[in-house]
Amino acid sequence: MQGIFSDRISDVPRSFIREILKVAIDPTIISFAGGLPNRDLFPVEEIKKAAIRVLEEDGKRALQYGNSEGLFELRKYISERYMKKQHLEIPVENILITNGSQQALDLLAKVILNEGDSVVVEEPGYLGALQTFSVYRARLIPVPVDEEGMDVGALKTTLLNEKIKLIYTVPNFQNPSGITYSDRNREEIAHLLRGKATILVEDNPYGELRFSGENKRSFRAIIPENAVLLGSFSKIVAPGVRLGWIVAPDFLMEKIITAKQAADLHTNCLSQRVVYQYLVDNDVDLHVKKIVEVYGRQRTMMLSSIKAHFPASVKSTEPDGGMFLWVTLPRGMSAMKLFHESIKRKVAFVPGDPFYVNKTDVNTIRLNFSCSDEKTIEIGIRRLADVIKKNLRYL
């Protein structure tokens, strides 16, 4: 069928990770490549109890169509949790429930972006966001991030040079790098945006998974009119329930609701009610604490193994939370080449390439520490160290 596809979809490449992970399905491979939360920590029994309760007490309502904004009680819970955890006052009316925060991003892009509009993304940045913005044919402008946050000088220049509609950030324990923006960095970014018609997205799926350090201020507290928050139950409850949300200023909400209606009418009612019931019937903070303890121990083991076994010329971020860390190999060492050799040594990771907009054959890699126990991490890092050392000789 000649010419049947839209221009927008013709441009989007096949998922790099999808392709690369096909190589790594061998179960004898130690995989630091995934981006999944640890399934051993899912509250299966508690979700079962919640499901039984919902279906026994209000089954017909849970199985009927719902409204596009999402379940009121769940939105109220989210609003109250923002207050409790971050002292953020967020009216229920400014929260809409989505199928994971990926959909929140898609709806926002739909509402905001015309073809060719400029969007600032982090370099390196979250793949799923890069893909969504590509579908809307945005012009992606990467701005580097490091352990302080986003490069304010580069951002300032970009904002002077052109109209930026959207800035996409994951300021806490970023995917892929694990870095967190400092309070000062946030203030400086906010200062550049105040009064401008630019939306700043604070995507925060990992925010509650903090192992060390202090919580930082949300952009919503600094520039409420510009900030859009994305949240998710994927990392603190479970991803299979597909529940995320978007927090947007008043002027955006009506259009986001319209976009949600046209996209899929509303989010799964059964899932919303079951997760709400789970949240009110259980001590969620205790559950999050358990996740933080496990991931924190695994992060520590990964960092100490890296220090013990990697050559000193290899650098790593030291995340205070989340699920990933980011390794910079010696200049000239190809992450893709390393990947293929590592697979032979039965250890996998994601080469940095797909996290950049314009760069290929980079020397950075993403390592996930949420899904492997400490012993496995130690073995995997040792194997990876061997491959790196072998490659050092050829530089």
Q: How far apart are CA 211 and CA 320, in angstroms?
A: 5
Which residues within the stretch 111-130 sit at the binding site for a copy of itself (CB under 8 A)?
Answer: 111-114, 117, 128
Question: Judged by CB under 8 A, how many residues of this single chain contact a copy of itself?
Answer: 80
* Contact call for residue 4 and a copy of itself (CB under 8 A): yes
Q: Report the site for a copy of itself in 152-181 (rule: CB under 8 A).
A: 165
Our finding on whether 394 is near a copy of itself (CB under 8 A) is no
Among 88, 190, 263, 294, which residue sits at the site for a copy of itself (rule: CB under 8 A)? 263
Q: Segment contacting a copy of itself (CB under 8 A): 134-142, 144-152, 281-289, 372-380?
A: 134-142
The piece of 72-80, 236-244, 322-330, 387-395 that touches a copy of itself (CB under 8 A) is 236-244
In this complex, which beta carbon is closest to a copy of itself, that of residue 23 or of residue 83? 23
Angle at 140 between CA 122 and CA 266, to 5 degrees: 85
**What gap in Å lies between CA 195 and CA 226, rounded to an integer?**
8
Q: List, in sequence order, the alpha helices (H) in the chain.
A: 7-10, 16-23, 44-63, 72-86, 100-112, 127-135, 152-161, 183-193, 219-222, 250-264, 269-281, 284-309, 335-344, 374-392
The answer to whether residue 134 forms part of the interface with a copy of itself (CB under 8 A) is yes
Q: Per-residue x/- marks for a copy of itself, 174-213, CB under 8 A?
A: -----------------------x-x--------------
Q: How far is CA 40 from the centre of its chain?
A: 20
Q: Which tokens go with 117?
A: 């509009």
- CB-based contacts of 22, cutoff 8 Å, min separation 6: none
* Contact residue for a copy of itself among 80, 162, 225, 293 (CB under 8 A): 225
How far apart (Å, rounded) are the C-alpha atoms in residues 279 and 241?
A: 13
In DSSP notation, 104-146 reads HHHHHHHHHPPTT-EEEEEES--HHHHHHHHHTTPEEEEEEEE
Stretch near a copy of itself under the rule CB under 8 A, chosen from 42-50, 80-88, 279-287, 340-348: 42-50
DSSP summary character for residue 176: T
Q: Give the residue, chosen from 83, 262, 280, 308, that forms a contact with a copy of itself under the rule CB under 8 A.
A: 262
134 vs 22: CA distance, rounded Å: 23
| Contact stretch for a copy of itself (CB under 8 A) within 102-110, 321-329, 342-350, 387-395 | 102-110
User: Which of 185, 268, 328, 342 touches a copy of itself (CB under 8 A)?
Assistant: 268
Select from 271, 298, 368, 372 the one that contacts a copy of itself (CB under 8 A): 271
- Between 5 and 390, whose beta carbon lies closer to a copy of itself? 5
Residue of 75, 120, 80 lying closest to 257 (CA atoms) = 75
Nearest approach in angstroms of CB 55 to a copy of itself is 4
